[in-house]
Chain A
């Protein structure tokens, strides 16, 4: 009723509402405020669902007999060694912008088509329906099918792969047409070349330097401050090296590499088995954010995305799910 009294309701109140830490009066006030703020109400509902799901996921455990271990064993028995859910044949994937701009069905379909398995695009979801409409990068649907490796791991879901490929084709057609027909205020589109250069350059950097035993980097991690200062200065950005310790990788060091006609930074990480990852970072003021994209070529997997003016590409010879986790960690840490 008295909405004006509730102007002081902030996010902390919403958390306290979800967690049941409000007084009855305040609880009531928040409830009323939520009725007038559907976006916040949706978020609050999401948090409540999370709370319930988390309590289900982590039950009180009286003894060390472990349901999780059983669960893991069950999964282990179910999965075949070759099973990875990569949609290799489709590789380049990114559609959040489409989801925002094209009619619902199209966006949905293309999103699903591009990712029969796991779904990566999320950068633009952050802008979401209330944010600025991001333009689709030209050539959005010109999927670069680089992986010629018809590996046995695709065999498990041949139909899914074929269907997915067909869907990409169809969705690309419909989505493309829809976008052309829709009057979208279009900011300068992201240079196609730049985005395409990312995975290429990243793979190149990985291929060249990850196998380099004696001089994988120019500056080693023991001079990290110097390293990030130097690379940041050359790229013209405030720069930091993500900490991938939680993912099992530590920083080896970095080097300056040419990238899209400018200086780029190549950081190298290594795990305790000597497995390496490279992160390519490039800066271009004309860049626009994209969703996560994924490309596989030979044994090298690459995730790449543009966040603000900075392009990132992460390459390694580890499985896609793990690489995605690492990419997410980097995205989280380096988000502006």
Chain B
């Protein structure tokens, strides 16, 4: 199978960036940094699974970004608040659910979020995911588990007052964060 070129993978990279980063302008910056780094280090690609290689670059760049951010600035911006406050407004229908999910994803631990995005959205195998994030596969599984259970918990909370109680409580994943 022919490996896709970097340009062909931009939509995937952009999607991953947006899943990792709260703000879509920052996501675009992350994407650009990733492309610059990828072209600058093209020789470091071993010729297999270019997508995973690019995802690794982006993951690492994002870690650096988070590390800097931690010491320099508050992450919350006004838009985030406005979205939050709209979550439960009446009549927002499906959009509210999507928005709840978005908030839940934002609330995930960044490490767990990266795993969930690579597995659930990008469809990488657990092994690929472990390679991309440079962590053991067991860690991939535990982060995936915690991410999924957190989302279930969060959404069940949101749904509790939006639905008519048609969701039986035992449909909700039971979870204690460790």
Total inter-chain residue pairs, C-beta < 8 Å: 193
Distance between A99 CB and nearest chain B CB, rounded to angstroms: 7
Q: Does A39 contact B (CB under 8 A)?
A: yes
B15's partner among A61, A66, A99, A329 (CB-CB below 8 A) is: A61
CA distance A336 to B176 in the complex (A): 8
B73's partner among A104, A120, A272 (CB-CB below 8 A) is: A272
| Residues on the B chain within 8 Å of A214, using CB | none
> Cβ of A57 and Cβ of B158 under 8 Å apart?
no
Stretch at the interface among B38-46, B56-64, B81-89: B81-89
Q: How would residues 35 to 47 of chain A score, 1 for a CB under 8 Å from any chain B CB and 0 otherwise?
A: 0000100110111
| Residues on the A chain within 8 Å of B82, using CB | 72, 75-76, 79
Q: Using A19-B119, A62-B10, A248-B76 as known contacts, say yes or no to A104 and B19 having CB atoms under 8 A apart.
A: no
Distance between B155 CB and nearest chain A CB, rounded to angstroms: 8
Q: How would residues 278 to 321 of chain A score, 1 for a CB under 8 Å from any chain B CB and 0 otherwise?
A: 00000000000000000000000000000000000000000101
The A contact surface, by secondary structure, is: helix
Q: How would residues 162 to 178 of chain B score, 1 for a CB under 8 Å from any chain A CB and 0 otherwise?
A: 00010001111111111
| Residues on the A chain within 8 Å of B116, using CB | 54
CA distance A252 to B137 in the complex (A): 36
Q: Does B52 contact A (CB under 8 A)?
A: no
Q: Does B11 contact A (CB under 8 A)?
A: yes
CA distance A75 to B101 in the complex (A): 16
Q: Does A246 contact B (CB under 8 A)?
A: yes
Distance between B55 CB and nearest chain A CB, rounded to angstroms: 14
| Residues on the B chain within 8 Å of A328, using CB | 107, 154
A57's partner among B74, B105, B150 (CB-CB below 8 A) is: B105
| Residues on the A chain within 8 Å of B11, using CB | 60-62
Q: Does B2 contact A (CB under 8 A)?
A: no
> Cβ of A15 and Cβ of B141 under 8 Å apart?
yes
Q: Using A79-B85, A104-B165, A272-B73 as known contacts, say yes or no to A42 and B121 having CB atoms under 8 A apart.
A: no
Q: Using A50-B151, A72-B83, A128-B170 as known contacts, say yes or no to A58 and B15 having CB atoms under 8 A apart.
A: yes
Q: Does A130 contact B (CB under 8 A)?
A: yes
> Cβ of B110 and Cβ of A246 under 8 Å apart?
yes
| Residues on the B chain within 8 Å of A158, using CB | none
Q: How would residues 133 to 164 of chain B score, 1 for a CB under 8 Å from any chain A CB and 0 otherwise?
A: 00000000100110010111111111011000
Q: Does A21 contact B (CB under 8 A)?
A: yes
Chain B contact residues, CB within 8 Å of chain A: 10-12, 14-15, 18-19, 24, 28, 69-70, 72-76, 79, 81-90, 97-98, 101-103, 105, 107, 109-110, 116-117, 119-121, 123, 125-126, 141, 144-145, 148, 150-158, 160-161, 165, 169-178
**Shortest Cβ-Cβ A-B pairs, 6 listed:** A248-B74, A321-B84, A108-B165, A335-B177, A60-B11, A117-B88
A-B contact pairs, 24 of them (CB 8 A): A16-B126, A19-B123, A42-B171, A43-B152, A50-B155, A53-B98, A54-B116, A57-B101, A61-B11, A62-B11, A64-B28, A66-B24, A68-B18, A75-B82, A79-B89, A100-B169, A112-B160, A112-B165, A118-B161, A119-B158, A125-B172, A130-B170, A246-B109, A328-B107
